[in-house]
């Protein structure tokens, strides 16, 4: 079920909120779990069992680690067992055909399994691992209530495409969260902004990207498509995160932020401090630091960075273009850290910013391509092999120029800062209680009109 669908907006979400706020406090997690399972089963009912088995594994291993808290060896064995049980479904469903395909390329003749990828499996697997790892390290107490743990892992706002919410982020909220009209209003506004990002910007930029992909080739068209694709992915994913965070706020949870205007960055290092922040921090705390982080020899430090970025790419998808996408950023980070540090810091800010935007544009062409051959073709098209301009390319640019400009400005902190400055004035302070609901209502109404008139519009990160 899509957040950006009439079914979710006007039927599912309405039912959730009505029943949730009518239910006594001690049963609210059970209500959330019930609706979360319905939400997940809406698209693939058979695979709900797989998710519940993963939840059960995390629950049992957490209790066992609590039981063996005075036996480091047994406790560590429980952690290893939990990680293996959690990763097994992910490896089987997501990566088996990738490995078989590569073996076949080397001469084997093995049949592909063709398994359906469970939606959101990469996200809920990482949440279960973070829970058991935090219990192992003593950062969290084992959850004794299976409904509370299942509600955390299956919580529908962030189940499908994050943000990756660690157990320690919401441990207190699971048992002692508060609700208020102010939180509901804050969450509803955040949700509507995310809905607008997805429906009014990301989907429209997706139309432009698709049109330019099939249009008569030109260098200008290739660059416009690269910019449109880059902004589409950002508004699609950050829009989902905004909706998830907004829904969490309405229900009394505080989810971590996932994006912080990544395209204002001036290096790849800064970009990844601002892009998909919950994934970056997950790999930092559960892979990079346990490997030794930067407090090791230079060779091992490079190894640690290489492992993290290989896994970052591989987490996104079972194909070589995702692996190379991750390694591309890994190499940029290594170059910035070890080779270009002194030189890089002396460059004017504008040049560093242009460098980051060019690197991001190239990287997302690699990210989006169906295979390496298509990725190479699309990247090379930026630098020649076609006329500078074409009639169709100019037509598409003129047709979508307004949304491109809105997206470019919206990807910066400028709109938020202007709204904050307005709210800080005496007139703005009086007007905001009226303007905010009107803005929210306008976003929902216009987005609904687009949804009714449009076609299927899945979030790009659903495939991960």
Q: In terms of C-beta density within 10 A (0-12 exposed, 13-18 middle, 19 or more buried), how is residue 52 classed? A: middle
In sequence order, the 6+-apart residues with CB closer than 8 A to the CB of 195 are: 3, 4, 9, 239, 243, 443, 444, 447
What residues act catalytically? 316
CB of 222 closer than 8 Å to CB of 242 = no
For residues 225 and 361, what is the distance between their CA atoms, to the nearest angstrom?
9
Give the residue carrying structure tokens 């080739």.
217
Closest by Cα among 452, 458, 402 to 239? 458
Per DSSP, the residues of 319-356 read SHHHHHHHHHHHHHHHIIIIISHHHHHHS-HHHHHHHH
For residues 341 and 352, what is the distance between their CA atoms, to the nearest angstrom?
12
Q: For residue 399, give Cα distances in angstroms to 219, 325, 454.
A: 18, 31, 18
CA dihedral 250, 446, 7, 182 (to 10 degrees): 10
For residues 295 and 293, what is the distance between their CA atoms, to the nearest angstrom?
6
For residues 458 and 237, what is the distance between their CA atoms, to the nearest angstrom?
11
Residue 74 tokens read as 């047994």
């Amino acid at each position: 079920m899509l957040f950006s669908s009439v079914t979710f907006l006007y039927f599912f979400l309405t039912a959730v909120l009505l029943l949730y706020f009518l239910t006594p406090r001690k049963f609210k997690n059970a209500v959330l779990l019930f609706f979360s399972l319905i939400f997940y089963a809406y698209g693939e009912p058979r695979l709900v069992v797989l998710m519940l088995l993963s939840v059960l594994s995390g629950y049992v291993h957490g209790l066992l680690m609590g039981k063996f808290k005075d036996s480091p060896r047994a406790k560590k064995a429980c952690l290893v067992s939990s990680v293996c049980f959690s990763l097994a479904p992910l490896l089987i469903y997501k990566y088996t055909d990738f490995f078989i395909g590569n073996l076949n390329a080397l001469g084997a003749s093995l049949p592909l399994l063709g398994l359906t990828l469970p939606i959101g499996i990469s996200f809920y697997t990482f949440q279960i691992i973070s829970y058991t790892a935090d219990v192992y390290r003593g950062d969290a107490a084992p959850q004794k209530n299976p409904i509370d743990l299942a509600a955390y892992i299956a919580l529908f706002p962030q189940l499908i495409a994050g943000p990756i919410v660690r157990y320690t982020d919401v441990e207190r909220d699971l048992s002692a969260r508060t609700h208020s009209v102010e939180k509901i209003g804050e969450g509803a506004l955040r949700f509507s902004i995310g809905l607008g990002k997805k429906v009014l910007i990301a989907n429209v930029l997706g139309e432009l990207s698709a049109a330019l992909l099939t249009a008569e080739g030109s260098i200008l068209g290739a660059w416009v498509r690269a910019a449109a694709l880059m902004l589409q992915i950002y508004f699609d994913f950050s829009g989902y995160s905004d909706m998830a965070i907004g829904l969490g706020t309405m229900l009394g949870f505080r989810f971590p932020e996932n994006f912080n205007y990544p395209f204002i960055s001036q290096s790849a290092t800064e970009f990844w401090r601002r892009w998909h922040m919950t994934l970056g921090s997950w790999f930092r705390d559960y892979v990079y630091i346990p490997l030794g982080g930067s407090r090791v020899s230079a060779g091992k430090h490079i190894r640690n960075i290489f492992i993290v970025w290989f896994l970052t790419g591989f987490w996104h998808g079972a194909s070589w273009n995702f692996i190379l996408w991750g390694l591309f950023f890994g190499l940029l980070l290594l170059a910035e850290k070890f080779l270009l540090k002194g030189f890089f810091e002396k460059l004017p800010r504008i040049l560093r910013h242009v460098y980051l935007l060019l690197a991001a544009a190239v990287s997302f062409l690699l990210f989006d391509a169906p295979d390496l051959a298509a990725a190479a073709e699309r990247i090379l098209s930026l630098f020649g092999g076609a006329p500078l301009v074409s009639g169709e390319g100019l037509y598409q640019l003129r047709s979508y120029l307004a949304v491109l400009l809105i997206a470019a400005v919206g990807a910066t902190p400028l709109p938020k800062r202007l709204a904050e400055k307005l709210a800080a004035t005496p007139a703005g302070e009086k007007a905001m209680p009226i303007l905010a609901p009107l803005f929210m209502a306008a976003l929902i109404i216009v987005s609904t009109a687009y949804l009714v008139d449009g076609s299927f519009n899945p979030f790009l990160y659903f495939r991960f």
